[in-house]
Structure 1
Amino acid sequence: MTDTPHDYAEYDEGRHVNYWRLDPALRAEARRVYPESEFSWAASRLDEFGELVGGTIADNADVIDDNGPKLHSYDEYGAVSNDVEYHPAQHENERLTYESGIVADAFDPPSGRKEPLGLAHTLTMQLLLSYADAGFVCPVSMTAGAALVLRNHDDGFLDDYFEGLTSRSSESVIEGAMFLTEEQGGSDVGAIETTAELVDERTYELTGEKWFCSNIDAEGTLALARRADAPEGTAGLSLFLVPHRTRDGELNDQLYRRLKDKLGTISVPTGEVEFRGAEAYLVGEPEQGFKYMTTMLNWERVTNAVGAVGIMGRALLESKIKAANREAFGTPVQEYPLMKRDLFDMAVDYEAALAFAMEAGKWLDRYERDHDDEKTYQLMRTLTPIAKLRTARMSVDTASYAMEIQGGNGYVSDFVTHRLFRDAQVLPIWEGTSNILSLDLLRTLGREQTHEALLPYVESLLSSADHPVLDPLAASVSEEFESLQHALVSLANADDEYAQHEAKTLANYVFDVVTASLLVANAQRELDASNDARKAVVAEWFVEQTLLDAPGRGIADGDALPLAYFDAVVRHAPLSPDALAEAETKAR
């Protein structure tokens, strides 16, 4: 271990840096969730990508935000053209990102390997990409998601599209999309009105409207529609691939009506689409569309979470740099107690969100490697909606406060925090609002009995903590875990209306207890590996702020971890367990 805290004053801003190298917490989480053989191979690629994102891609992202895509629905003769015009900087970011293997490496063995990497690798790269442009992560994520759907549910009929979605060549790669929302339906997927008329055995013509279509001109778009005489509701939906151009190279029979004038995520074109007999290819079996689409929804919700964490990471980095460089009354503002606490809070929130999002990604990755493992499925289904729900809101709060730390500049579009906040605000909306996600959690617990995997999982995390410095903390989390179990039993026996009323509270409660358990386990791991108690402080502060109800809100207890351990948590200085134990003894 080095004894020198990181000096953020050496940077002017959070760009032209290597995001991978500047994020020890991310490196530790990636090492934890990757299979060991994969991480040892992938680390150098992540380092290269962190450098690329922190330089060229970050610079391009600001240019793209000022010069977003433009839609030309018609040509000069009035014929439908559906042409989306992109700034050259967007094309460069696409080339650099896809050729780095962000999607391909998870489906096709990269050079030097006999097997593909897991989806945890794609998620980690997407998190790094979110440091620069969370909007661009949307098409990247949907490209991987569409490929995952075809890998799992197509019988080879759409192999040409699968190969395009998973290509690492900028000449042949195609992007994916998911056109789900219709104006009358919103989150009520069963209300979809788009119809599908059979042309031949696997080819259909789609008619209808899709209201919120991100990556509007993708060649690998997945859409739900209802065939003739199919049942009402989600049971009657089939899944189709609707290309921008048909297999014979003709522009498909659809109209890109307009692009949405959005608050943020400018880099991804989002608009309205009218299917006018658009050629579409059936994915898998008919009337299985909603089931198939849940593969992509689970994936997108986890990627939404890691995207939120990426925004938080960049916001935290910009805040550390500003606080280290900006002086007030002759002293860097990071030296003032209130700013120390603010940065400490932001750092702990970041590591909490990071731990939970990466854990959700780990279980999704494991499930996609082995669909027959029921416990893995149950954990994936439990953690996924919670990860998306909580991290999305945390990213908005973190980005908002990062603007405040920048002062007036933070509110000005010349500075990146302005864009981070605008981009973060869509995250609670994409892939299901917090209410929809909370109800999904109730379904997983009720219909799928996912508590059968969740409870032993939390017990195993807590039982891993055996270092004396962690004893009081593990005891506090264990006590709260018992209360959570009581809450789960109470809701299981409650009527449906009351259960729905409490669903969001439950989702946040599960997040707090699971995250506290993860952070305690991470602290034990770091103590074992390097005798460093830094993560023990991270865990302790998270527990104090989320699970413990201190009298008088803790004002009179004299506890000031941010002042005592600022360098350890914010600047990643090591902390010996003896020093922590001595300080805890004095405090008591």
Structure 2
Amino acid sequence: MKASSSTEGFFQARPIVQSQIEEDVVLRRIVSLHLPCPLPWSMEQDLTRFSHLVLSRPILNYAAEAERNQPYLKPLTTFGAENKQDSLVTSEGWRALQDVNIREGLVGLAHEPAQPTDDVQWNARVFKSIKTHLWTPSSAMVTCPGSMTDGAARLLSRHLDGENGKVFAEALRRLVSRDPAVAWTSGQWMTERKGGSDVRGTETVARKLTVQEMTEDDGVDSIGLPLGPWRLDGFKWFSSATDANMAIMLAKTGDDGSISAFYAPLRRQVNGRNGEESELNGVRIQRLKNKLGTKALPTAELEIKGMRGYLIGKEGQGVKEISTILNITRAGNSIASVSYWGRSLAICRAYSKVRVTSGRRLQDTPSYVRTLARDHAKYAASMHLAFLIVALLGISEGSSSASSQAANINIIPKDEKHSLALLRLLTPMAKARTALRAIKGVRASMENLGGIGYLENEDPILNVARIFRDTCVLSIWEGTTEVMADDLMRVVKGRQGPDCLNALDKWISHALGVARAHSFSAEAGVLQQLWAEFLSDVQSKSREELNWHGRKCLKVLERLVCGCLLILDASRDDNDLARELAKRWILKDAVSQRSWTVEADWDSRIVYGDSLNGQRNAHL
């Protein structure tokens, strides 16, 4: 490839970005760690095809069009009446990307049974998340309603035997469908003006209708099913799937105002016209939010007045029910974080191979490559953490990781109870820390690209500024960092605390044993000390004091768990590059006293893999 000093030279690097799944060393190791090895041919073909699709010209054009033509409201009809039928207008690009999300199974994959032709077992959550990792930066954030749809499908699947089983089964069929003409998306409506992330502040109320009231208003939803026996009234302050077909929401019920969960279709047929015309089901879109990022995603304030729906589970169990969705959306949040970060690093790698400054390419500039290498090491840690969470989530849903290297080396505990305990304990930490690291990492990528990184480029492949804006929401969605810290403290100081800490202790002890057996003695010492300090704090400090130290606790647990993951990964094949990543993460700047040329060699290998190492040596 001929180097160029102009920005046009970047377009010569596009094939390098398109081969992200081949060039991203960390992603390749994640695939080999959590999926069957060797990878079945059908899965390999699908990932290769998809890695090119996500950066194809049609997809990029859809993303640019969705960003350019943002959603808007038509609140009134031509004659000034309230527009209840089609008040929200979304772009062609947004709708096309949603169709891609559906056809590619980025909801359905996690719910589809293994095919009879499969000769190995695999974790469906992991495979879906690898595709999501490739897809998210090109998707204009259709993955957000996709993640909520995924969670809604899992929640409804647990209530098919109850009195509303027929209605829930039909909704489930549509939520997981790969046919855009059939498929539904779902909203997750919890945030209110008073409550925010604290769902106990919910002001929306639900009341079960009397038989007479049901008789007077026996309407049906858009597909002809009854609207439901409950009436909901309230206000939802932040809904990120305003164009969805249904919603899962929380509302107060009964005299004690306990929190219950509800399913509600978003549209109802007008005057029983067999679906020819429909209107919003007791919902008025008050206004769309003007946000820093996620511009193509319609986010709105919703007034709910007379919305009809169905109770999910038992009254007063809403928080417990909604946790099913939160586990999935928080895991999805972590994957989105590493996805945006991974794309920004891929762009930097490609750009460095063609951009010439002071007479040499950036890839031959030691200080530039060292900066990238430091970010790649942190990215590797976050990738291992995010995919541990989705693997554990898959186990909790019945997926198998038995044929994966992660199971063979006990990254996934053999005791399912321990897997569930780790999932509960580590999910809030992973959600919080991957988001914060991705925001910092994508910002650094903007700087690494110079002026191009700061531009709102029409071509989405160059628009790292847009990626940064979208990434910033990930530390807020599904709970801020403080909310995640409080959730962690609630676990360790609560009824589940002893079981969760015992499971983590056994997991860490195994990792430390592996570390010492594979010449990671110094690293094992650091991790052992971190674990002892963390346990001491948990056992000696009150929940209030731990909450005061909340962010520090998240960081310590992240360094500890990611260090164990990197060591376990490196030890499975004694890969020297994986060993270097583990050392750099755990020991930080004290990793060694090697010469700068040796360090620079490692920097290059971390960023570009072994393929460019020979070229790197030639320029030192």
TM-score of the pair, normalised by structure 2: 0.83
Please state if 1:123 is matched with 2:129: yes
**What SS is found at the alignment partner of 1:526?**
coil
CA–CA separation in structure 2 for the residues paired with 1:75 and 1:474: 72
CA–CA separation in structure 1 for the residues paired with 2:41 and 2:248: 35
Q: CA deviation at 1:71?
A: 2.4
Which residue is equivalent to 2:314?
Answer: 285
Which residue is equivalent to 2:586?
Answer: 543
CA–CA separation in structure 1 for the residues paired with 2:17 and 2:452: 20
Which residue is equivalent to 2:419?
Answer: 376
Q: CA deviation at 1:14?
A: 7.5
What percentage of residue pairs aligned between the two structures are identical?
26
After superposition, the Cα gap between the structure-2 partners of 1:383 and 1:560, relative to the gap in structure 1 and judged at 3 Å, is: farther
Any idea what the Cα deviations from partners look like across 1:342-364, whole Å, max 9, x if unmatched? 11012112111111100111111
Any idea what the Cα deviations from partners look like across 1:104-140, whole Å, max 9, x if unmatched? 2222347665799622222222211123236221011
- From 149, 166, 169, the equivalent of 1:143 is 149
Which residue is equivalent to 1:240?
Answer: 262
The worse-fitting range, judged by mean Cα deviation, of 245-254 and 333-342 is: 245-254
Any idea what the Cα deviations from partners look like across 1:355-389, whole Å, max 9, x if unmatched? 11001111111112189942121100112111111
Which residue is equivalent to 2:347?
Answer: 318
After superposition, the Cα gap between the structure-2 partners of 1:71 and 1:461, relative to the gap in structure 1 and judged at 3 Å, is: farther
- From 395, 415, 419, the equivalent of 2:438 is 395
Please state if 1:66 is matched with 2:68: yes
Letter in 2 for 1:216: T
Contact 1:214 1:270 (C-alpha < 8 Å) held by counterparts: yes
Contact 1:474 1:520 (C-alpha < 8 Å) held by counterparts: no
Please state if 1:458 is matched with 2:458: no
Which residue is equivalent to 1:265?
Answer: 294
Please state if 1:432 is matched with 2:479: yes
**What SS is found at the alignment partner of 1:21?**
helix
Contact 1:18 1:52 (C-alpha < 8 Å) held by counterparts: no
Q: CA deviation at 1:215?
A: 1.0
The worse-fitting range, judged by mean Cα deviation, of 281-290 and 81-90 is: 81-90
Q: CA deviation at 1:555?
A: 11
Gaps of 5+ in 2: 1-8, 212-227, 401-414, 615-620
Letter in 1 for 2:609: H
Any idea what the Cα deviations from partners look like across 1:198-248, whole Å, max 9, x if unmatched? 12695211100000100112113110001131x34xxx1111112221376
Please state if 1:569 is matched with 2:616: no
After superposition, the Cα gap between the structure-2 partners of 1:286 and 1:256, relative to the gap in structure 1 and judged at 3 Å, is: same
The total of aligned residue pairs comes to 553
Contact 1:154 1:283 (C-alpha < 8 Å) held by counterparts: no
Q: CA deviation at 1:337?
A: 2.0
**What SS is found at the alignment partner of 1:215?**
coil
After superposition, the Cα gap between the structure-2 partners of 1:370 and 1:95, relative to the gap in structure 1 and judged at 3 Å, is: closer
Contact 2:23 2:608 (C-alpha < 8 Å) held by counterparts: no
Please state if 1:255 is matched with 2:284: yes
Which residue is equivalent to 1:47?
Answer: 48
CA–CA separation in structure 1 for the residues paired with 2:331 and 2:15: 25
The worse-fitting range, judged by mean Cα deviation, of 154-163 and 425-434 is: 154-163
**What SS is found at the alignment partner of 1:80?**
coil
What is the root-mean-square deviation in Å for CA atoms of aligned residues? Answer: 2.8
Which residue is equivalent to 1:57?
Answer: 59
CA–CA separation in structure 2 for the residues paired with 1:15 and 1:58: 16
The worse-fitting range, judged by mean Cα deviation, of 14-23 and 413-422 is: 14-23
Which residue is equivalent to 1:3?
Answer: none
Contact 2:527 2:563 (C-alpha < 8 Å) held by counterparts: no
After superposition, the Cα gap between the structure-2 partners of 1:89 and 1:474, relative to the gap in structure 1 and judged at 3 Å, is: farther
CA–CA separation in structure 2 for the residues paired with 1:342 and 1:304: 26
After superposition, the Cα gap between the structure-2 partners of 1:495 and 1:108, relative to the gap in structure 1 and judged at 3 Å, is: closer
Question: Map of 1:6-21 to 2, 5 A cutoff?
Answer: 11-13=12-14, 17-21=18-22
Which residue is equivalent to 2:369?
Answer: 340
Which residue is equivalent to 2:199?
Answer: 189
Which residue is equivalent to 1:158?
Answer: 168
**What SS is found at the alignment partner of 1:95?**
helix
Gaps of 5+ in 1: 1-7, 580-588
Q: CA deviation at 1:256?
A: 0.9
Which residue is equivalent to 1:227?
Answer: 253
CA–CA separation in structure 2 for the residues paired with 1:519 and 1:113: 34
Q: CA deviation at 1:43?
A: 2.9
Which residue is equivalent to 2:220?
Answer: none
CA–CA separation in structure 2 for the residues paired with 1:509 and 1:287: 36
**What SS is found at the alignment partner of 1:280?**
strand
Letter in 2 for 1:221: A
Q: CA deviation at 1:150?
A: 0.9
Q: CA deviation at 1:39?
A: 6.0
Q: CA deviation at 1:323?
A: 1.7
**What SS is found at the alignment partner of 2:55?**
helix
The worse-fitting range, judged by mean Cα deviation, of 25-34 and 458-467 is: 458-467
Q: CA deviation at 1:13?
A: 4.2
Which residue is equivalent to 2:221?
Answer: none
CA–CA separation in structure 2 for the residues paired with 1:560 and 1:285: 65
Please state if 1:25 is matched with 2:29: no
After superposition, the Cα gap between the structure-2 partners of 1:179 and 1:439, relative to the gap in structure 1 and judged at 3 Å, is: same
**What SS is found at the alignment partner of 2:247?**
strand
Q: CA deviation at 1:58?
A: 3.3
Which residue is equivalent to 2:223?
Answer: none
Q: CA deviation at 1:40?
A: 6.0
Contact 1:242 1:278 (C-alpha < 8 Å) held by counterparts: yes
CA–CA separation in structure 1 for the residues paired with 2:416 and 2:440: 37
CA–CA separation in structure 1 for the residues paired with 2:436 and 2:599: 23
